[in-house]
Every structure is written in C-alpha cells, then in structure tokens.
C-alpha cells in the first residue's frame, strides 16, 4: 500500500449554518480497508456524497488517482473507477438477480452510448454479470427476482451491482445495517474476499465497532463534521479523545 488512491484537502460542506463536513483532509492508500465511524450526524454519509459527486463541496478538493475530481457529476466519477452502495438497499425488485447485475454492468460499458450496438455485442456484459453473481454467492439464484430475496441476500446483490464495473475504489455505506450476527459475519467475509480477489480499495461507513476493529487497516473518526482521530484500529481503541467524545466504554 504505497500509492495514494484518494485524497481530500479541507473538504467542507455547509447547509445554511450547519457545517456537515468541516475541512476534512485525508489520504487513502491503494489496497487498504478504511472505515469511517462516528455518531449519527457526524458527517459520514455527507462525506461519501462529496466523494461520489452526489453533493458539491463549498470548499476543498478531492483527488482520485492523482486527478482532481471535485465537482464532477456522479456518472463521471463512477466512470473513473469509484463505486458506491447505500445504507438503504437499492435494487430493482422486478428484475432477476442476473438482470440487476447485467444492467449495472451495461451502464458502465462504453458500448451503451453507441446507436449501432446489438444485443449480441453485449456478450461480455452478460459474462461479467455471471461472474459477479458467482463472486457474491448468488449464481444459483440468478433467475430469481430480487423482490423474493431475504434482506441479507439483497445486500449481497447490491454489493454485486457496485462491483459490476470492476471499480478501483468501493464505498459501502453501512453494509451490515439491520443484519443479525450471522448475516453480518457472512457479509464482512464476502467483502474481504471480494477486496482480496478483485484488488479494489475499500472505504466503509460502519456502526458495528467489532466489525470495524477486525476488518480495518485504518479508521477515521468523525464528530460534528470534523475529523477527531485517525489511525490503525489499536490506536483508535486507546484514543482518549475518541472514547471520551462519544464511544464511551464500547472500545475498552
């Protein structure tokens, strides 16, 4: 992990008098797993929105692989290699698992802009969808509608949509939210396996501190829009400011 894949400098987002993200500067190295933690309202999802173009910062800069991507639209950032899943599952219930992933792969395929593209030209897209379903363990349910999936499998499918275009950086917003312990463990194992096999850098917002401490290379801690700590999990666990600020005894 020697190359910086993502960097922000003084990234700031205001909503009237509220400063949701307050001059955040950070670097994420290629291949690392970075967790973003903090209480509700700390600015975590807003930070992800700024990184993926869903919001435009009032101040500051975002670099991705050395390129200034500040203020680019979401599809422009996605095409540069950043993918994201959301806290609320976002899949097409009326489509099969295969159709969901194929659509995600096709959206990122340059041939979709060609008026001369034929269905037979999309063989590679279909092969990508099949491989993604195998990677996330849903290959035997490829023809089943997403509406019929249990919550944990819907989350798996959403991760499949996010990796369909082989991103360099994957952002996951609360990937284990609402899950029981077994589903949480299985989902985290899946995420780690995908990151290892596909070689992408991973950033995740996660409320489960046990997950954070076990999966992360580094942890960034936000409170009231500000970065109050950053470092490896063992340093965060013993950081007095973090413990006193809002985590209390949960890390001890």
Average pLDDT, consecutive stretches of 10 residues, N- to C-terminus, the chain (252 residues): 87 97 98 94 95 97 97 93 78 94 78 47 86 96 95 92 93 90 91 93 92 94 95 92 69 56
8-state DSSP, 232: -
- Neighbour count for residue 164 (Cβ, 10 Å): 25
- Using CA atoms, how far apart are residues 114 and 174, in angstroms rounded to an integer? 36
By the 8 A CB rule, do 84 and 170 touch? yes
Which residues 6+ apart lie within 8 Å of 146 measured at CB? 91, 92, 93, 94, 95, 96, 97, 100, 154, 157
8-state DSSP, 96: B
The ranges assigned to domains in the chain are 1-81+167-252, 91-166
Q: Which of 110, 92, 112 is nearest to 101 (CA)?
A: 92
- Using CA atoms, how far apart are residues 169 and 32, in angstroms rounded to an integer? 10
Q: What pLDDT, on a 0 to 100 scale, did the predictor assign at position 249?
A: 53
CATH code for the domain defined by 1-81+167-252: 3.40.50.300
Q: What pLDDT, on a 0 to 100 scale, did the predictor assign at position 108?
A: 60
Q: What pLDDT, on a 0 to 100 scale, did the predictor assign at position 201?
A: 97
- Using CA atoms, how far apart are residues 1 and 31, in angstroms rounded to an integer? 6
Which residues 6+ apart lie within 8 Å of 119 measured at CB? none
Which residues 6+ apart lie within 8 Å of 167 measured at CB? 78, 81, 82, 83, 200
SS3 of 115, please? coil
- Taking only the tens place, the pLDDT of each residue in 206-218 is 988 889 999 999 9
SS3 of 68, please? strand
- Using CA atoms, how far apart are residues 216 and 238, in angstroms rounded to an integer? 15
Q: What pLDDT, on a 0 to 100 scale, did the predictor assign at position 250?
A: 57
Helix H or strand E segment including 3? none
Cα dist. 21→25, 43, 62, 225 in Å? Answer: 10, 6, 13, 4
SS (H, E, C) 194-219: HHHHHCCEEEEECCCHHHHHHHCCEE
């Amino acid at each position: 992990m020697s190359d910086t894949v993502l960097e922000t400098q003084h990234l700031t987002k205001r909503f009237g008098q509220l400063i949701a993200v307050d001059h955040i500067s950070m670097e994420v190295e290629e291949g690392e797993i970075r967790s973003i933690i903090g209480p509700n309202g700390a600015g975590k999802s807003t930070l992800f929105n700024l990184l993926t173009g869903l919001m435009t910062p009032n101040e500051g800069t975002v670099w991705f692989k050395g390129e200034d991507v500040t203020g680019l639209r979401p599809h422009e950032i996605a095409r540069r290699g950043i993918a994201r899943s959301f806290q609320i599952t976002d899949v097409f219930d009326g489509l099969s698992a295969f159709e969901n992933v194929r659509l995600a792969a096709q959206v990122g395929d340059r041939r979709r802009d060609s008026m001369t593209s034929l269905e037979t030209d999309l063989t590679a897209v279909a092969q990508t969808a099949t491989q993604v379903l195998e990677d996330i363990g849903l290959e035997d349910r490829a023809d089943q509608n997403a509406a019929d999936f249990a919550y944990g499998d819907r989350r798996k499918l959403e991760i499949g949509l996010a990796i369909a275009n082989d991103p360099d950086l994957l952002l996951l917003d609360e990937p284990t939210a609402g899950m029981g312990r077994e589903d949480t463990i299985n989902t985290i194992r899946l995420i780690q396996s995908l990151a290892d096999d596909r070689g992408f850098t991973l950033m995740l917002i996660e409320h489960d501190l046990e997950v954070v401490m076990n999966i992360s290379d580094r942890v960034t801690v936000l409170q009231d829009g500000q970065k109050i700590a950053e470092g490896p999990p063992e340093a965060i666990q013993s950081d007095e400011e973090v413990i006193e600020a809002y985590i209390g005894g949960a890390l001890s």
